[in-house]
Amino acid sequence: MAKKEFSFNQAVNEIGKILKEIESGEMDVDRLSAEVKRASELIRQCQKKLKTTEEEINAIFRDLT
């Protein structure tokens, strides 16, 4: 099975949904740990994507000068 390509926007939306559910008190305690773990994984992926994008943009600008 092919690995699904990471989508920054989808990850941010999923993190938002998880946070909203936790903050509203709607999150079942049995799911809380798993959802917090999922959110932290998504945050790490987003941080990695942002860092990679920043490095790519900096490289482009270096090539222009």
pTM score:
0.83
Domain of residue 16: give its range.
Answer: 10-64
Per residue in 39-57, pLDDT (tens digit) is 999 999 999 999 999 999 9
Residue 15 lies in a domain: yes
What does the pLDDT average to over 4-31? Answer: 94
Q: Is the pLDDT of residue 4 over 80?
A: no
Residue 54 is assigned to a structural domain of this protein? yes
Q: Establish if 2 belongs to a structural domain.
A: no
Indicate whether 1 belongs to any domain.
Answer: no
- Would you list the DSSP string of 8-53? HHHHHHHHHHHHHHHHHT-S-HHHHHHHHHHHHHHHHHHHHHHHHH
Query: How many domains does the chain contain in total?
Result: 1
> How does residue 2 score in pLDDT terms, banded at 50, 70 and 90?
low
